[in-house]
């Protein structure tokens, strides 16, 4: 069972945020030829705290 379905995710499924493509594209960096996103930026997109996103992985 996922965190979202257990009610531990942001807003418990009550709100949907739309993030435009350019905003996401601007947060993708290339490091040694690999595309990466910084954890705090990814957490902000999904509405999580950084430490909760890191503990999920």
Query: What is the pLDDT, as a whole number, of residue 3?
Result: 44
How confident is the chain (57 residues) per 10-residue block, as mean pLDDT? 47 70 94 95 86 74
Query: What is the pLDDT, as a whole number, of residue 1?
Result: 41
Query: What is the pLDDT, as a whole number, of residue 52?
Result: 76
CB atoms within 10 A of CB 31: 7
Query: What is the pLDDT, as a whole number, of residue 57?
Result: 64
CB atoms within 10 A of CB 24: 13
Query: What is the pLDDT, as a whole number, of residue 18?
Result: 83
Tokens 């902000």 locate to: 44
């Amino acid at each position: 069972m996922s965190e979202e379905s257990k009610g531990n995710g942001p807003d418990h499924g009550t709100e949907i945020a739309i993030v435009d493509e350019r905003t996401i594209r601007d947060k993708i960096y290339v490091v040694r030829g690999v595309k990466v996103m910084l954890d705090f930026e990814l957490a902000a997109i999904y509405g999580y705290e950084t430490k909760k996103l890191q503990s999920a992985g």
